[in-house]
Amino acid sequence: MLTSGGDCQSLNATMRGVAKTLYENVEDVTIYGFLDGYKGLMYGEYRKMSSRDFSGILTEGGTILGTSRQPFKLMKMPDTDGKDKVQLMKSTYKRLKLDCLVMLGGNGSHKTANLLREEGLNVVTLPKTIDNDLWGTDMTFGFQSAVNIATNAIDCIHTTAASHGRVFIVEVMGHKAGWLTLHAGISGGADIILIPEIPYNIKYVVDAITKRKKQGKRFTILAVAEGALSVDDAALSKKEFKAKRKDWQYPSISYEVAHQIQDLTGEEVRITVPGHTQRGGEPCPYDRVLSTRLGAAAAEMIIRGEFGYMAGIRNNQIVSVPLDEVAGKLKTVNPDNPIIKEAKLIGICFGDEPIKKN
Ligand code: F6P
C-alpha cells in the first residue's frame, strides 16, 4: 500500500477502510506500507504493518505512510544512479511476492499506476485529491474536507470585509480545476467566483463590484482559484503563456486581479491565501464515510482478484473504473454544469458576460 502525490485529509481513513476489510475477511493478510509514495516502492523502503497500525487513524489528517510527488513524466527517466524506476518498482513487488499494489493518489499518480498495470502488476487504486478532478468518480476523498476549510476562510473574511467596506479576494487551491473554488465560493457566499474553466474579463468583475456598491453593499468577496485565467491569457499559446508568467510581477493570480480592481475602481483590495491549510486537519464526516466505503470496496476488489481498477463513486453507488480510463484524463468543471447556471441565477459573477434580464 502507498499514498502518492499531495496529501489530503482522509488518506488514513481510506487505508483503514482497506486494511480493516482485509483483516476482517481474509484469513492470512500481510500488508506492507511503502514510505513516501512510489519512492518507497522503488527503493524497498517499507513498514510491515499490523492491524494495530490502522486503529485510531480515522480522524487523523495527513498520511501515516508519508508521501512524495514523483511526476509521471520523470517515471520513464533513470534515477540519479542511472537506474530504471519502473524496473525498480517491479523488482520490489516481485521480491516481496506481493499479490497486489494498493495506491491512493490523484491524477499523476494514476498515470503511474496504469503504467505499472501495463507492466503486469496487479493494481487497485483509490481516488485522492482536494481538487476533485479525477476522471471516473463523482467525488474524491479530501475534497469535502477542503471545501469546509476554504468555506470557513471565506466566512471569516465576511465579517472583516463588512466592517471595513473592502473588496476581499480569497485564493482557493486548484490549478487546473475549479471544483473547490466553486463549492467553497457558493457555500461561503462569495459574490464573484473565478475558475480556470471560465476565463474572466476584468470588465465584468469590475461591473459586479460597482453594481454591489450602487446597491449599498459595503463589501465584495471574490473566491479566486489558483489557476483562474483572464480571457487574454486563455487565448495565449502554452509557450506565450509560460513566457508571460516568467517575468510576472505577481506571486499569484489573485494579486494581478487585485491590482486591476484597485486601478479600475479605486477600491481597497485585500488578499487571503489559505494555501495548504486546505489540505490539513481532520477529515470531515462526509469524507470519513466516503473513505470507509471506498476502502471496503477496494478490499473487496482485491479479494475478488479484480485488478486494474480504481474504486470510485457515481450517483452514490460504488463503482470499479478501469485504470486506463482514469489515467491521463482530468475532470474539470463544465461551464454548462447546472450548478454554474444556478449560481448565476442568484447573482454570482463568474467574470464572463452576465445573463441578460428578461
Ligand atoms: O493537487 C492538490 C493541490 O493541493 C492543488 O490544489 C495545489 O495546486 C497543489 O496541490 C499544491 O501542490 P504542492 O503541495 O506540491 O505545493
Which residues pair with residue 311 across a beta bridge? 320
pLDDT (0 to 100) of residue 199: 98
Q: Pick from 175, 195, 278 the residue to mutate for probing ligand 1's pocket: most ligand atoms within 8 Å of its CB.
A: 175
pLDDT (0 to 100) of residue 355: 83
pLDDT (0 to 100) of residue 356: 84
pLDDT (0 to 100) of residue 95: 98
Nearest by Cα to 300 from 153, 116, 100: 100
Ligand 1 atom 5, closest CA: 174
Alpha helices in 194-230 (DSSP H): 202-214
Q: Is the CB of 132 under 6 A from ligand 1?
A: no
Task: Kindly name the residue from 7, 36, 53, 131 that is annotated as catalytic.
Answer: 131
Pick the atom of ligand 1 nearest to 173's CA. 6
CA atoms within 13 A on the CB side of 260: 18
Rounded Cα distance between 288 and 89, Å, is 30
**CB 182 within 8 Å of CB 195:** yes
Ligand 1 atom 10, closest CA: 6
pLDDT (0 to 100) of residue 210: 97
- Give, for all 358 residues of the chain, the pLDDT tens digit: 999 999 999 999 999 999 999 999 999 999 999 999 999 999 999 999 999 999 999 999 999 999 999 999 999 899 999 999 999 999 999 999 999 999 999 999 999 999 999 999 999 999 999 999 999 999 999 999 999 999 999 999 999 999 999 999 999 999 999 999 999 999 999 999 999 999 999 999 999 999 999 999 999 999 999 999 999 999 999 999 999 999 999 999 999 999 999 999 999 999 999 999 999 999 999 999 999 999 999 999 999 999 999 999 999 999 999 999 999 999 999 999 999 999 999 999 999 999 888 8
Does this model's pTM top 0.75? yes
SS3 25: helix
Distance 55 CA to ligand 1 centre (A): 28
Q: Is the CB of 149 under 6 A from ligand 1?
A: no
Burial class, 270, CB count within 10 angstroms (exposed 0-12 / middle 13-18 / buried 19+): middle
Those residues whose C-beta lies under 8 Å from the C-beta of residue 92, and which sit 6 or more positions away, are 41, 42, 43, 44
pLDDT (0 to 100) of residue 340: 98
Q: Which residue has the cell 483572464?
A: 230
Residues making up the chain, counted from first to last? 358
Nearest by Cα to 165 from 286, 86, 34, 269: 269
Active site residue 138: no
Distance 306 CA to ligand 1 centre (A): 31
pLDDT (0 to 100) of residue 73: 94
Q: Is the CB of 226 under 6 A from ligand 1?
A: yes
pLDDT (0 to 100) of residue 358: 80
